[in-house]
Structure 1
Amino acid sequence: MSSTSAEPRAEPRVGAPDAGAKTPAGGRDNPIRRLLREPLLHFLLIGAVIFAVHAAVTPSVSKERLIEVTPDVRQTIVDTFKRAHEGREPGSDELARLIDLWILNEITFREALAQGLDKGDEMIRDRIVHKMRLLIFGGVQVNEPTPQELQEWYEKRRLQYDIPDLVTFIDVPFTGDAAEAESRAVLQQIEAGEEPEDVRLRAQIFPKRPRHTLVPSFGQAFVDALVALPPGEWRTLSSATGWHVVRLDGFVPGRKVPLAEVSVQAAQAWKDERRRVLAIAATRELGKAYVIRRGEP
């Protein structure tokens, strides 16, 4: 009787497919099942469910119906309180009440606009327009002018910066057909020391008036003749409006001011003017989104 040695039993390899196991689709793993086992898919599905539930219980809000206390709004409320209370920060209860008040005001404002209460009220309209203009102006960036730009701009506006001739005089005006005769008669009375009371009452005093500002009222010829008179003496002069008995009491010559003396003020004025031009252009650009009918025939 012969003995037979037992063959050692081979251990199955880790990860090797079981010979007796059946795999679908001809022994290959199903891609759909493999996908369903992915953790990333589980995460995405859970996120989608949460989003769907949130959307179902949270109705969408249009911008027109949303009143939100943003960080900027909150800071504005705090800053306003501090200015009114010598820099003191509002307490939590005070801030809550201020925010409630802001919300109530915003609700009231929105409803007023919705009901058209701003229509036909020029004061409200002007305030809203002014606020919008400030926003537009604030968004306009202006660079410093070049020396050539500033010089050319200054020469065109030199009258605003040059020191003008200053004229001080007394005027007794006369109008009508007999104006010349009346003025000469009054001049004779003044020279004789018999100045009538009504002349003193009618006399107009012009102290230190810039010479160029007199031209629109009296005419260039009158002004030129006036400043040429001997100071302190009464004379008759004609103007575009009639005749006058006048006395020149003072004349201070002006002078031209070089740009170097007022460069800072001139540069600021240049930037302000440039900012206005750009703001108007920006407003016209906004206007392209509207259909504008002027109502002209």
Structure 2
Amino acid sequence: MIAAEQAAGPTAPPSSQRTGTIWLKSMLREPLVHFLLLALVIFAGYRLIGADIQNKPGSIVVTAPKIEQMAILFTKTWQRPPTSEELKGLIDDYVKEEVLVREALALGLDRDDTVVRRRLRQKMEFVDAAADVLTPTDADLQAYLQINAATFEIDPMLAFQQVYLNPQRHGDSTARDAASILEALQANPAADPNLLGDPTLLPSDLPLSSKTAIGQTFGVEFPEKLDKALLDQWTGPIASSFGLHLVRVSRRMPGRVPALDEVRDAVAREWTNAKRRALEDGRFAELLKHYMVSIEFPVSAEAGR
């Protein structure tokens, strides 16, 4: 019996098993199945990697230069170096700040915050400014001085004597009293102005002063009237913000554009500021090319435009 079975060869698998094998082979040849299997592999890998990243703590490194900077700042503030305990407190506070800042950024708390946006803008502008090494030549400064001569022009200057008349003290006779004193001064130019007129905190004899400074004290129209007066002759009265004055202009210096050596520092400062603004505007224009700006005006603003 056994010999007969061996002669008949191996037993054939059941028909249901053969059908399953054929179906599996057919499915494995389908492209959609290949895609799904690949997606499952990627998803499983992503879960493993993502879990590793999520569980891995962020790295905060407090470097030796940073600790040294903390100690220097503490020393400048308190006029002594920090103790070991105080230094540990500074480091702990830095770590706390770093953690909270990172968490705040992760939560998006920096968005739509005017103060944060302003500080970020200032830091960007500071970074741009720090990148600029601006060293003007004498030719640069001279050209800037010529183009902006009015900015650096030395103000005209005047020196004069004055006799003050207080309208509240003289009342309706102010003009008549002024004419009388003026007549006496013209008759005797050597007369002491301090013995005439009314008491005042204003000096009777003003040395060379700029027209701007005189205008700030006596009123803007006062130096313009002085500018028209004859030299070394008593004239007036001229009204100021205080009252009436009899004046004698003793010296007059016209305004002028100074030589570069006289105002080099001021010209260099203004040249640097102007050049930096130009560079900032240029860099911003390049950055702006990467953005499309749309401005949606409110309905009320549109109606008024």
Compute the TM-score of the two structures, normalised by the length of structure 1: 0.51
- 1:68-147 correspondence to structure 2 within 5 Å: 68=60, 71=63, 74=67, 76-84=69-77, 88=81, 93-105=85-97, 107=100, 114=109, 119=114, 130-145=122-137, 147=139
Deviation per CA, 1:112-171, whole angstroms, max 9, x where unpaired? 99287954x7xx887665555433322334343461x32221123345545444324558
1:184 aligns with 2:175: yes
In 1, Cα distance between the equivalents of 2:226 and 2:103? Answer: 59
Which residue identity is paired with 1:253?
M
RMSD (CA atoms)? 5.2
CA contact (8 A) 2:164 2:200 kept: no
In 1, Cα distance between the equivalents of 2:210 and 2:297? Answer: 42
Distance change in 2, residues 1:260/1:229 (3 Å): closer
Distance change in 2, residues 1:164/1:60 (3 Å): farther
Q: Residue 274 of structure 2 aligns with which residue?
A: 273
Q: Give me the identity figure in percent.
A: 17
Distance change in 2, residues 1:144/1:127 (3 Å): same
Q: Residue 56 of structure 1 aligns with which residue?
A: 51
Offset of 1:222 from its aligned partner?
A: 2.0
Compute the TM-score of the two structures, normalised by the length of structure 2: 0.50
Distance change in 2, residues 1:153/1:54 (3 Å): same
Distance change in 2, residues 1:188/1:252 (3 Å): closer
CA contact (8 A) 2:141 2:267 kept: yes
Report the 3-state secondary structure (helix = DSSP H, G, I; strand = E; otherwise coil) of the residue aligned with 2:251. Answer: strand
1:230 aligns with 2:224: no
- 1:239-278 correspondence to structure 2 within 5 Å: 244-248=244-248, 251=251, 253=253, 256-263=257-264, 265-278=266-279
Q: Residue 187 of structure 2 aligns with which residue?
A: none
Distance change in 2, residues 1:126/1:52 (3 Å): closer
Report the 3-state secondary structure (helix = DSSP H, G, I; strand = E; otherwise coil) of the residue aligned with 1:275. Answer: helix
CA contact (8 A) 1:235 1:246 kept: yes
Offset of 1:274 from its aligned partner?
A: 1.0
Which residue identity is paired with 2:87?
L
Distance change in 2, residues 1:140/1:253 (3 Å): same
CA contact (8 A) 1:172 1:246 kept: yes
Q: Residue 210 of structure 2 aligns with which residue?
A: 210
User: Which has a greater percent of helix?
Assistant: 2
Offset of 1:275 from its aligned partner?
A: 1.3
In 1, Cα distance between the equivalents of 2:109 and 2:74? Answer: 29
Distance change in 2, residues 1:81/1:165 (3 Å): same
Q: Residue 11 of structure 2 aligns with which residue?
A: none
CA contact (8 A) 2:70 2:90 kept: yes
Distance change in 2, residues 1:269/1:173 (3 Å): farther
In 1, Cα distance between the equivalents of 2:173 and 2:271? Answer: 51
Which residue identity is paired with 2:51?
A
Which residue identity is paired with 2:277?
R
Offset of 1:95 from its aligned partner?
A: 3.2
Report the 3-state secondary structure (helix = DSSP H, G, I; strand = E; otherwise coil) of the residue aligned with 2:276. Answer: helix
CA contact (8 A) 2:222 2:239 kept: no
Distance change in 2, residues 1:102/1:223 (3 Å): farther
Offset of 1:74 from its aligned partner?
A: 4.6
Report the 3-state secondary structure (helix = DSSP H, G, I; strand = E; otherwise coil) of the residue aligned with 1:58. Answer: helix
In 1, Cα distance between the equivalents of 2:163 and 2:97? Answer: 58
- Number of residue-to-residue matches in the alignment: 230
In 2, Cα distance between the equivalents of 1:281 and 1:125? Answer: 21
Offset of 1:79 from its aligned partner?
A: 3.6
